[in-house]
Amino acid sequence: MYKFRVSTKEENNNAGFGKWIYGAGVFGEEPYALFFGKVRRRFGENDTFSDDWENMYSYEITAEDENGNKLYFEIYHGPGGPSIGTPFSGELPPEYQQAKKELIEYIESAEPVDYVHESVYYDIPVNVKYTVKNGNATVESVFPEEMDFENIEDYM
């Protein structure tokens, strides 16, 4: 069983951007907004919040077992949405497999904090506003007026 906390300054940069282990099968802005609210409930506010949708936040997390062994993760919102990175790009060692499972359960079991966060998906650009209130998420997206939706691939 692991306990999770924000990493100390000495532990920072141990997680890296290796394996993406969150998000498979979870798509859509409402689940992304709720996940961000749950992460904030578990790990608080930090100074990485950004208006860039592809770099919206980052939390460096330490998982510690009852013997004092530490594993490192990074929870972040990247180009593919919410993600959890590890220092490994290949197969995760067994202890990381277990800690990964517990970390996701720990986050998902939280009630999301109420918040409003505005960001921009700069590639298009689209303004995206996440609002979470009483456990419900709403997302507002404002597209440029001149955007040609018939040729959307031109923006990707």
The pLDDT tens digits of the residues spanning 97-108 come to 999 999 999 999
Rounded distance between C-alpha atoms, residue 146 and residue 105, angstroms: 42
pLDDT above 90 covers what percent of the chain?
A: 60
Quick: pLDDT tens for 15-68: 665 555 555 455 678 999 999 999 999 999 999 999 999 999 999 999 999 999
Note the pTM of the prediction, 2 decimals.
0.85
Rounded distance between C-alpha atoms, residue 100 and residue 86, angstroms: 9
> Confidence band (pLDDT; 50, 70, 90) for 155?
very low
Amino acid 2: pLDDT: 98
Amino acid 124: pLDDT: 79
pLDDT above 70 covers what percent of the chain?
A: 82
For CA atoms 141, 19, 108, 63, the dihedral sign is: negative
| DSSP for residue 21 | -
Amino acid 86: pLDDT: 86
What value, to the nearest 5°, has the Cα angle with vertex 70 and ends 65 and 73?
A: 110
Q: Give the ranges where the chain is alpha helix by DSSP (H).
A: 29-43, 94-108
